[in-house]
Structure 1
Amino acid sequence: MADDETRVDAAEEKPAAPSDSDLFRQSEIAADYVEGLLDILDYDGDIDELVSAGRPVVEVVGGRLQALVGQRGATLEALQELTRLAVFRQTGTPSRLLLDVGGYRANRRKELAAVAKNAVEKVKEHGEAVRLEPMSAFERKCVHDVVNAISGVESESEGVEPSRRIVVRPAD
């Protein structure tokens, strides 16, 4: 019986978080995949792979890359998912890889911080919840991070993709 209990306990344990070297390896695999895509598309870009905030990151910089971002980052989101699949195929482990092209995510993060602060101001001024436009998971995380850093307000996501949005309201 003790052997069965040991097996159950071991099965319930969460897998260890990937090490920085594992995460960097994921970013290298992703960079190779993205480089192959750029070659196929005949696009020029410099690729940096790194680990930031416990996530593998690949950044592509250069001119003429807007087509890889697409309208409101839709193409970038799709490329990120394809790149995550390429990493999974080689490692057998799901990846939280973040792909950025032409600084789009950094710029969008700044825009979303302004949107979040504006929503917080409205909530504090009127005392009523504010519903934001539908956003991608990346965009929602950016807004949640800003709202959660401000006292007196809270945020939550509601709805179903692709119409999932954030609601900012007074804290209870």
Structure 2
Amino acid sequence: MQEFDKHQLFFFDNIIFFDTEFTNIDSEIGELMSIGLVKPNGEELYLELEYDESTIHPWVDEHVLPYLTGNKVSKEEAIEKIWDFVGREGEKPFLMAYVNQFDSIYWYRLFSDPKGHPVFWIPIDFASILFGFGFDPDIMREEEFYKWLEIDTTKYNKHNALDDAKKLKEVYEKFKEKVNKDS
């Protein structure tokens, strides 16, 4: 069993930060549109997938579609590219998303198996980490939070899966520094 060190609150960096965009928040009809993955070393993968345009919610049409490039791959191609990016050998990394419920649902639907994919089967939810440290889980919508972390959010496009994953990586790293410094 791993020993707990109260002075080193974040002890595991085998993480891939991710975000997805999907056609509809209703996961019964929605489809995965794009996925962004970022490793701690900054290596990144961005994929847009083929999807049924009839499932696009009007909100997605207005807020997500403008950020898509249109270079779509099939689900089979996406799965292969993700396996190649994450790797097929060694310890499986954890996926971390901000409010991971929807991202995880669409991830599992892509791979059609809760364990037959290249990452550890339990995803990490950054909103829960925030809550555990006494922050409102919705705080990532507040510009003051980013100012506290000294993050310039203007370099990120909202509702772009890769930008959201890169922003989460930066937030996680700065948040980790802040809470470890204060412990």
Q: TM-score, normalised by structure 2?
A: 0.29
Q: Give 1 or 2 for the bigger CA radius of gyration.
A: 1
Q: TM-score, normalised by structure 1?
A: 0.30
Question: Relative contact order (alpha carbons < 8 A, sep ≥ 6): 1 or 2 greater?
Answer: 2
